[in-house]
Structure 1
Amino acid sequence: LSSTPDIVSKDYLQKLNAIQTTGVAIAGIAALPLAGYIYGKIAFEYIILIEIITEILTIFLTVITKFKAHRNEEKAHETGRKLIEILQGNIVGFNYLFYIKLCYMI
């Protein structure tokens, strides 16, 4: 999760990262047989209902999670400048392609 540093202190970040990695591995192993079992035992309409409920639960948990609200203005400004430089480079590149008519060859 990209928001992990905003939720957990740096002391527990490595431990949480290990737990998340383990959880993802276990879920990857267990998901296929569990999905096959559920698909065989439960009607498809109920599977969709379960999916909707889990999505709502995920949205709810995301909304109630407390994130650190600090923002580094200098870093945000620097990121904005980098984005503008990238976009300017793209514009120059596309102008060059139209200038040499390379776009008609592609």
Structure 2
Amino acid sequence: MKKKSTPFDLSAMQSSAEKACALLKVLANPDRLILMCQLSQGEWCVSDLEEQLGIRQPTLSQQLGVLRDNELVETRREGKSIFYSIASKEAIAVMAVLYEQFCVQ
């Protein structure tokens, strides 16, 4: 039995593919991926991320900046502490799958 095909919008698919590639490109860095894995479990302050993940401050700041610039994370200031959380629903969905497949022991 032949399935009826749904209308195919190539332009929309290309746009979606570009967005997906952009997200995957940002995540294709081990430090950023580890950060996103940790943030997928909730909000973290910078000093705790540094201590927990063993990423040194200069690298941590640089990678968090890339995530901010790509609007994958958002910040919240509390006194002198800056807290990070995932801001992108697409990133949350991707990280949920990656966390389940690769991060859970």
What TM-score comes out, normalization by structure 2 length?
A: 0.27
Of the two structures, which has the highest relative contact order with CA contacts closer than 8 Å and spacing of 6 or more? 1
What TM-score comes out, normalization by structure 1 length?
A: 0.27
More strand by share: 2
More helix by share: 1
Say which one has the larger Rg.
1
